[in-house]
Amino acid sequence: MIQEKDHGVWGHELRPERITMEKHPIRRSTVGGQAVMEGVMMKSPEGTALAVRQSDGSIVKEFYHTTNKHKPGSFPTWPVVRGVYAFVDSLIGGMKITTRSAELLGEEYEEEPGKFEKWLSKTFHKDIMDVAMGVAIVLAVGLALGLFVLLPSLLVSLLHLQSGFTVSLLEGVCRLVIFIGYLLAVSRIKDIKRVFMYHGAEHKTIACYEAEGEMTPANILHYTRFHARCGTNYLFLVMMVSMLFFACIPVKALLPRLITRILFIPVVAGLAYEVLKAAAKSDCLLARIVRAPGLALQRITTAEPTEDMAEVALAAFNLAMNPPAEDLRVVLPKEKEQAAEEQAPAEATETVHPEVPEEKDLSGAPEEAGRSGEDA
């Protein structure tokens, strides 16, 4: 249950939120999502829906079906293992969907590729956007390893501590401080602020659905922007689980410590995923305590959206909940055009089949988390 819809991090009322869930039956959503550039992705068991607001006010919607569904009981669905799969798919899928949203925005400003772009495309025998995405993934992984693995280890090594247990704990604390500082820093960037607002719209849309509220942009805004299955919660749990896990295998020497940290990342990711699932399903005191820090961090990674943003999130959600038979693209005209085109239904929408690369699991957060930030 998502009790945080009614209560704050430590059980107190969340003042920005105006709708409580106690009077509403709660239904668990199978849809999770992720905020992207000027839009929202929503993922259901059937596939992935993407809605992006363009500068002219129109909303571009796309849907592509999931092609790699795992059978119940198969190896990728085993406990811990499923968390590793979800972690990798979230990383790759998140980059793909973010790149796709940038492509949709870029369609308004299409220009001839430069010589360098043409050279890259010819050298790697791939589309320039595919090459760019590959480079972005490599850079993102490198940055994450540098900030959250190498830097904490180097800082703690300067203390010349003798206890491997103490070294591991301090390294975990240092990693957590760097993580929070990183979130605070990027939240001040204008474009990231808008992504965080769309993140809030994604959460509010799912919260409204789970509370069986009226699914309209105006009503969605009354619901909470905090969600127990958000990807922010997952990342925080990864930090905490890694701190406890590596404290159990203390290593003092810097190089062996770095190697163990990198090698055991999949194990930590899988364990954190299981903790997330268990904490999201329960409403006991321990589950609330586990969820509390991640919910507090969502005050950084989400922001109050506008009604226009809620409209985009709702468009993605409705498409995810009512998937078409085939992959498709729909351009919804802006409001002024809609009013005029009600008299000409044949021109109200444009539907084409996009050339979208075959997707795997594009969840913003693992499985049920869907990102809700997972993200929900």
- Left (φ > 0), alpha (ψ -120 to 50) or beta: where does 36 sit? beta
Question: How many alpha carbons lie under 13 Å from residue 261 in its C-beta half-sphere?
Answer: 30
- In DSSP terms, 351 is beta-bridged to 330
Confidence (pLDDT) at 167: 86
The 3 state secondary structure assigned to the chain is CCHHHCECCCCCECCCCCCCCCCCCCCCCCCEEEEECCEEEEEECCEEEEEEECCCCCEEEEEEECCCCCCCCCHHHCCCHHHHHHHHHHHHHHHHHHHHHHHHHHHHHCCCCCHHHHHHHHHHCCCHHHHHHHHHHHHHHHHHHHHHHHHHHHHHHCCCCCCHHHHHHHHHHHHHHHHHHHHHHHCCCHHHHHHHHHHHHHHHHHHHHHCCCCCCHHHHCCCCCCCCCCHHHHHHHHHHHHHHHHHCCCCCCHHHHHHHHHHCHHHHHHHHHHHHHHHHHCCCHHHHHHHHHHHHHHHHHCCCCCHHHHHHHHHHHHHHHCCCCCCEEEEECCHHHHHHHCCCHHHCCEEECCCCCCCCCCCCCCCCCEEECCEC
Structure tokens at 312: 């985009």
**Global pTM value:** 0.76
Comparing 13-22, 180-189, 250-259, 278-287, which segment has the lowest mean pLDDT? 13-22
Dist CA 102 CA 111 (whole Å) = 14
Lowest mean pLDDT among 7-11, 42-46, 295-299: 7-11
Average pLDDT over residues 159-166: 83
Query: Higher-confidence residue: 97 or 199?
Result: 199
Average pLDDT taken over every residue of the chain:
77
40 band by pLDDT with thresholds 50, 70 and 90: very high
What does the pLDDT look like over 303-362, one tens digit per residue?
Answer: 999 999 999 999 999 999 988 877 766 666 665 444 433 433 333 333 334 444 444 343
Residue 366 has pLDDT above 50, yes or no: no
Mention every residue, 6+ apart, whose C-beta is less than 8 A from residue 214. 208
φ/ψ of 361, rounded to 5, equals -85, 110
Contact 47, 321 (CB under 8 A): no
The pLDDT assigned to 349 comes to 36
**In the chain, where are the structural domains located?**
3-375
Q: Is residue 144 predicted with pLDDT exceeding 80? A: yes
pLDDT for the residue 20: 39
pLDDT tens digits, 233-280:
999 999 999 988 988 887 888 888 889 889 999 999 999 999 998 888
Q: Which of 170, 178, 139, 137 has the alpha carbon at shortest distance from 257?
A: 170
